[in-house]
Structure 1
Amino acid sequence: MTTYESLLAAVTTDGDGREVLDPATGERIGTAPVVDTAAVGDAVARAAAAQPAWAALGHAERSALLHRAADAVEASSEALAEILSREQGKPLNGPNARFEVGACAAWLRVTADTPTPTQVVVDDGTDFAELHYRPIGVVGAITPWNWPMMIAIWQLAPALRMGNTVVAKPSQYTLLSGLALVEVLNTVLPADVLIAVPGSGELGAALVTDPAVGKIMFTGSTATGKKIIEASAGNVTRLTLELGGNDAGIVLPDVDPKAIAEQLFWGAFINTGQTCAALKRLYVHDDVYDAVCEALVDVAGAMPMGVGLDEANVLGPLQNAMQFDVVDRLVEAAKASGARVLLGGDPERTQPGHFYPATLVADIDPANALVVEEQFGPALPIIRYSDLDDAIALANGLDVGLGASVWSADRDRAREVAARIQAGTVWINSHGGVHPMIPFGGVKQSGYGLEFGAEGLKAVAVPQVVNG
């Protein structure tokens, strides 16, 4: 069993690199190694050289190795969770660090067992055609800092399963988490099948423009996604982009506010709000508005926030000062506009750590910046509505569409409303839950391409028709 100390030692350096500080305490964790752009080219060349043999193993052997990789993750789960908690800030408990590491193992196993998406398209006695999905070659995986291990597995597992090799570029804010995961996986995988390149954003740019990279998978901001589209055009590189979101929830007047309050809370505040598909703006019918607000205050006020290694906490700090400043700016603007703060909104600015309290803001203008800009943190605006058509129009009024939710005691009615919402996923009476067999992706400027299940396997492969 890998210990925290041994795994940390394996992914830190005594030389030059990026100093890593605990976002909850400001304490130094260690120094993460960083490489230059020349190392990216070398990594891509090594991955390209290893790819034919990896593809030749076949689906059965690759799937067996993914199961062994899941075993390795589980054997190192506490060490991985502690590194993740200390570097990213999320607590060990709740839907946080241990949950994330567990999801890594689960996604590896389900991806390994998902049937190959081969399809007979014509077989009429005269013609026969079969659609196969072949490896692309080298896949570049560029991952964010909010779920640095789980989202990495979302990219790595299907790419490897389909016979590609992977060069992974973890976020510069969570280098140790990304390197630790790759370190554990590489105790099982053949050499150069998975290579990590730690460093700043310039490494991602080098990966995107390398002509030997056949596919880029990216999770991050819409602005960066647009740069990737432009940079990849010269090589016609295939892309899967999961970009920014500003998910809306619509609460219909037939709900029981107390019954839905905890689900609403976690839909918005999972990972302290630092989740692409978190509930970020909540539209509540006037008939139940006050009761929903009251129920949310009761739930949110009872959730302990603090240092992630404290087993009692379920909310942690924001991962970095940049994100703290975004949330702080938006909440202060909402307060200045006359919106009513029901809970929170008053961070302790003299203590260490990027802690922003769970914040609920009511009676806010639908056009307020806290509503129309993605806050990516623990601050939820609650907007009152009386006409459902108006609420749907507001939900659809932004240029993003990753997820959304509808809350109602009448599931059929909720599905009717869901059909009118412009989002890649619409949840009913929950928000943000993902499943390794259910396709996930955005619309509008939230990106394109699907992940998970058979659709996710197709996305990291090239289609080939065998005709005859």
Structure 2
Amino acid sequence: MTATATILESITVPEAEGRAIPDAATRDTIGYAPVHTVADLEAIIAAARAAQPAWNALGHAERARILHAIADDLEANSEELAAILSREQGKPLDGPNARFEVGACAAWTRNAADTVLEPEVVFEDGPARAEVHYDALGVVGAIGPWNWPMMISVWQIAPSLRMGNTVVVKPSSYTPLSVLALVEVFNRHLPDGVLTVVSGNREVGAVMASHPGLDKIMFTGSTEAGRRIVESSARNLARLTLELGGNDPGIVLPGADVSAIAENLFWGCFINTGQTCAALKRLYVHDSVYDEVVDALAGLAQAMPMGRGLDEGNLLGPLQNQSQFDIVRDLVDDARERGARIVTGGEPAGDLGPLFYRTTVVADIEDGARLVDEEQFGPAIPVIRYTDVEDAIRRANASEQGLGASVWASDTDAAVEVAKRLQAGTVWINQHGALNPAVPFGGTKQSGYGQEFGVAGLKAVAAPKVISR
């Protein structure tokens, strides 16, 4: 890479050697991603295993110093990284989108560097003492999604590097350029073999899950794909962290101040145009405030600018790929056919581009409709009326998934009591989807297992060792 070359130029390959990656909004080709094979994966894992002992030997302090230097470099290149992300994934530069995601990459990298993980004394009686120490696992395989490709990759990469592991990253085939760009900045500061991207197809990902050279698999994606990874990992007994699909419920309690919660409700549903695992996917609203909530969400949906991500001022973008567009369209059409009321949206926004779908609020809908029971992963929220809080809790818990949930109320003590009864890895009060790099995050039920972030996240990519004396 020359001094004047861009990051995008440094990560793309000639057309004859790669796979065309389209702009999510326009479908024009951004560039060509390398197409790695299983043979490439074998060589990459071998290099990662060879590099791991020396990387681990540097110690925590030196690895933390390097991670801080990487975070500085991410911030220095934030505009170009955000532009690549915006084009490939579709999310706008502004709002809680592309610039926000790149900033989160730097923040989570710094947190991984600064989080303290000391040996834990678990027993002490006179001269007898037992401590738990945390060592590197070896090589971590990180398989990421297309919705937050940079940020979620950092969730996997940064703690793994901090603990002395080397990492092999497999990005989604929809968004490889974003992850290649991220890793290019990381690798300005890392020894060869410590962090490598394998940009391949599903076959490459399947081989990763069962590869004997990987000691840990971290995966964010669908529940179906997570099950396949669990099955494959039985061959090598790799440790697993799985953050899988979610159908997150929200419950608005009677007496809620709708004007105070409306904007947080909206972004809980529609951040990243609804393409977020822990977005609010079904909203149960008490009859006393139902119409007010529906009207508030519809007003915000109609006012929120949607369009091409690189155009300043837009806050919502397209669906990232045709498959996801089809899912959203089909679920909304099914709701309409069942007699649900489409308050706003409910149709493609073809004037904006081929994969844009108007921000949609659906009212007068019940459990059993596909839009309620299935994860839409897009800009459509079903709003379900209830009259009894006990019934709302039961319906919220009826899903097989349990990633996140939220309770919305003026009485926060009452909200906490409801939150304690919801079956989810995280329950938010008067917000939804807000994450903190120091606070553990993970799912329950069929939304996966294992936790990320903070001390829990470091432990998840480490091998506990008990020393007794």
TM-score (norm 2): 0.98
Give the letter for the 1:10 counterpart.
Answer: S
CA distance in 2, matches of 1:137, 1:411: 44
Deviations 1:141-184 (A, max 9, x none): 00000000000000000100000000000100001001000011
Give the letter for the 2:11 counterpart.
Answer: V
1:117–1:454: 8 Å Cα contact kept in structure 2?
A: no
Q: What corresponds to 1:41 in structure 2? A: 42
Q: What corresponds to 1:257 in structure 2? A: 258
Give the letter for the 2:437 counterpart.
Answer: P
Q: 1:63 to 1:389 in 2, by over 3 A?
A: same
Measured after TM superposition, the shift of residue 5 of structure 1 is 6.3
Where does 1:51-130 land on structure 2 (aligned, <5 Å)? 51-130=52-131
Q: What corresponds to 2:150 in structure 1? A: 149
Q: Where in structure 2 are there 5+ consecutive unaligned residues?
A: none
Indicate whether 1:288 and 2:289 are aligned. yes
Measured after TM superposition, the shift of residue 3 of structure 1 is 9.7
CA distance in 1, matches of 2:321, 2:458: 33
1:72–1:188: 8 Å Cα contact kept in structure 2?
A: no
Measured after TM superposition, the shift of residue 393 of structure 1 is 0.7
Measured after TM superposition, the shift of residue 75 of structure 1 is 1.2
Deviations 1:424-454 (A, max 9, x none): 0000000000000000000000000000000
CA distance in 1, matches of 2:395, 2:118: 38
2:307–2:352: 8 Å Cα contact kept in structure 1?
A: no
Greater than 4 Å deviation, 4+ residue runs: 1-5
1:23–1:318: 8 Å Cα contact kept in structure 2?
A: yes
Measured after TM superposition, the shift of residue 72 of structure 1 is 1.2
CA distance in 2, matches of 1:357, 1:104: 29
Q: What corresponds to 2:452 in structure 1? A: 451
CA distance in 1, matches of 2:456, 2:34: 35
1:4–1:83: 8 Å Cα contact kept in structure 2?
A: no
Q: What corresponds to 2:27 in structure 1? A: 26
**Is the deviation greater in 22-31 or in 269-278?**
22-31
1:3–1:79: 8 Å Cα contact kept in structure 2?
A: no
Measured after TM superposition, the shift of residue 350 of structure 1 is 7.0
Q: 1:350 to 1:409 in 2, by over 3 A?
A: closer
Give the letter for the 1:11 counterpart.
Answer: I
Q: What corresponds to 1:322 in structure 2? A: 323
Measured after TM superposition, the shift of residue 348 of structure 1 is 3.3
Measured after TM superposition, the shift of residue 352 of structure 1 is 3.2
Q: 1:3 to 1:87 in 2, by over 3 A?
A: farther
Give the letter for the 2:161 counterpart.
Answer: L
Give the letter for the 2:94 counterpart.
Answer: N
Q: What corresponds to 1:411 in structure 2? A: 412
Measured after TM superposition, the shift of residue 116 of structure 1 is 1.6
Give secondary structure in 2 for the equivalent of 1:296.
helix
Measured after TM superposition, the shift of residue 258 of structure 1 is 1.5
CA distance in 1, matches of 2:444, 2:397: 11
Measured after TM superposition, the shift of residue 57 of structure 1 is 0.5
Give the letter for the 1:65 counterpart.
Answer: I
CA distance in 2, matches of 1:228, 1:369: 26
Q: What corresponds to 1:12 in structure 2? A: 12
Measured after TM superposition, the shift of residue 125 of structure 1 is 1.6
TM-score (norm 1): 0.98
2:145–2:221: 8 Å Cα contact kept in structure 1?
A: yes
Q: What corresponds to 2:232 in structure 1? A: 231
1:242–1:448: 8 Å Cα contact kept in structure 2?
A: yes
Measured after TM superposition, the shift of residue 353 of structure 1 is 3.1
Give secondary structure in 1 for the equivalent of 2:105.
helix
Q: What corresponds to 2:195 in structure 1? A: 194
CA distance in 1, matches of 2:2, 2:157: 22
1:155–1:217: 8 Å Cα contact kept in structure 2?
A: yes
CA distance in 1, matches of 2:208, 2:222: 17
Q: What corresponds to 1:467 in structure 2? A: 468
Q: What corresponds to 2:368 in structure 1? A: 367
Q: Where in structure 1 are there 5+ consecutive unaligned residues?
A: none
Indicate whether 1:179 and 2:180 are aligned. yes
CA distance in 2, matches of 1:467, 1:352: 63
Q: What corresponds to 1:379 in structure 2? A: 380
Deviations 1:244-289 (A, max 9, x none): 0000000001111111110000000000000000000000000000
Give the letter for the 1:22 counterpart.
Answer: D
CA distance in 2, matches of 1:323, 1:101: 24
Give secondary structure in 2 for the equivalent of 1:234.
coil
2:169–2:196: 8 Å Cα contact kept in structure 1?
A: yes
Measured after TM superposition, the shift of residue 190 of structure 1 is 1.2
Give the letter for the 1:401 counterpart.
Answer: G
1:23–1:353: 8 Å Cα contact kept in structure 2?
A: no
CA distance in 1, matches of 2:3, 2:451: 36
1:4–1:80: 8 Å Cα contact kept in structure 2?
A: no
1:4–1:79: 8 Å Cα contact kept in structure 2?
A: no
Measured after TM superposition, the shift of residue 2 of structure 1 is 10
CA distance in 1, matches of 2:406, 2:351: 37
CA distance in 1, matches of 2:61, 2:117: 10
Where does 1:342-357 land on structure 2 (aligned, <5 Å)? 342-349=343-350, 352-357=353-358
Q: What number of residue pairs does the alignment pair up?
A: 468
Q: What corresponds to 1:268 in structure 2? A: 269
Give secondary structure in 2 for the equivalent of 1:306.
coil
Where does 1:402-441 land on structure 2 (aligned, <5 Å)? 402-441=403-442
CA distance in 1, matches of 2:119, 2:293: 48
CA distance in 2, matches of 1:367, 1:418: 23
Q: What corresponds to 2:443 in structure 1? A: 442
Overall identity of the aligned pairs, in %:
62
Give secondary structure in 1 for the equivalent of 2:241.
strand
